[in-house]
Structure 1
Amino acid sequence: MQLELLDSKRWQTRDELANAVFEWIERWYSSNRRHSSIEMHSPVTFGTLHTRSDQLH
């Protein structure tokens, strides 16, 4: 997060930074980090592995 977000620009206000951190966590970290409770997959990968195409009909 330090390199990808915090050091990427000069933040004008604390609110601007807080919103950017929230967005980073929600969009990248939460969906891409691995979880031991789901076989060390990310939520995105786990969902893809366990979604059957015939369930969409």
Structure 2
Amino acid sequence: MPKVFVVFDESEQLLLKSIYYDEDPEEALKFVLEHIIPKVKKDLSCLSGVMSGQKG
């Protein structure tokens, strides 16, 4: 599986730092599901056609 780069805006970065310092597993999972997974799915679907075209 190729590497994926995820970009966070300022508010997402602050939320991520807050989760880290609070050590809140529920909030961490919520962040992953709401902020990371949608971005990864978007990036992968955009690259899937490009990557498959290069392999042939």
TM-score w.r.t. length of structure 1: 0.41
TM-score w.r.t. length of structure 2: 0.42
Richer in helix (by share): 2
Query: Which of 1 and 2 has greater Rg?
Result: 1
Relative contact order, CA 8 A, sep 6+: which one is greater?
2
